[in-house]
Homo-oligomer: A and B are copies of this chain.
Amino acid sequence: MRQDGRLARMIHVLVHMGLLGGRETSERIAQMLNTNPVVVRRTMASLRQYGIVESEGGRGGGWSLTRPLAEITILDVQRALQGETILDAPLSNDHPSCPVERAANGKLQRAFESAEQTLEREFEQVTLAEIGEIAMASAQAEKRA
């Protein structure tokens, strides 16, 4: 099951932004992600549409969070990037009128719905603030070592 890496990348960026507190330009974010400013704008635009970040043009502009990390969950980011559905049940559509195909699709559909609910609950429980804390703690631990 392929997935796109935008979720992980955006979480990464948002946590950095929250920890640093300020405004970041697409250019700097692109460097964090080893990518291109245009890719960043493309993806951040989804987050803006969902109200997680806002952008300002012109000199001194850039991207900033609209609320603290503690009020953003992984689920929020996921929804912003991909909408309601997280997992897509891979159904077949070769003979829509075949009862066997329909029965198989039905079972698959239900199984994926269960998994999706699990994932949703997990995503809902993790705030970006938590991720920031874990990162800070492990950075500390490394420094001591």
Identify the A interface with B (CB < 8 A).
1-5, 7-9, 11-12, 15-16, 19, 32-35, 74, 82, 86-95, 98-108, 110-112, 114-119, 122-123, 126, 130-132, 134-136, 138-139, 142
Identity of the chain B residue whose Cβ is nearest the Cβ of A126 in the assembled complex: B107
Identity of the chain B residue whose Cβ is nearest the Cβ of A18 in the assembled complex: B100
Determine how many copies of this chain the complex contains: 2
* Nearest CB of chain B from residue A16's CB, rounded to whole Å: 6
Residues of B within 8 A of A2 (CB): 1-3, 88
Q: Kindly list 7 other residue pairs between chains A and B, CB separation below 8 angstroms, not including A100-B135, A115-B119, A118-B118.
A: A1-B1, A5-B92, A15-B100, A110-B122, A112-B119, A114-B119, A114-B122
Interchain residue pairs with CB less than 8 A apart (9): A1-B1, A1-B82, A8-B108, A12-B100, A33-B92, A34-B95, A74-B108, A99-B142, A103-B132
Residues of B within 8 A of A74 (CB): 107-108, 111
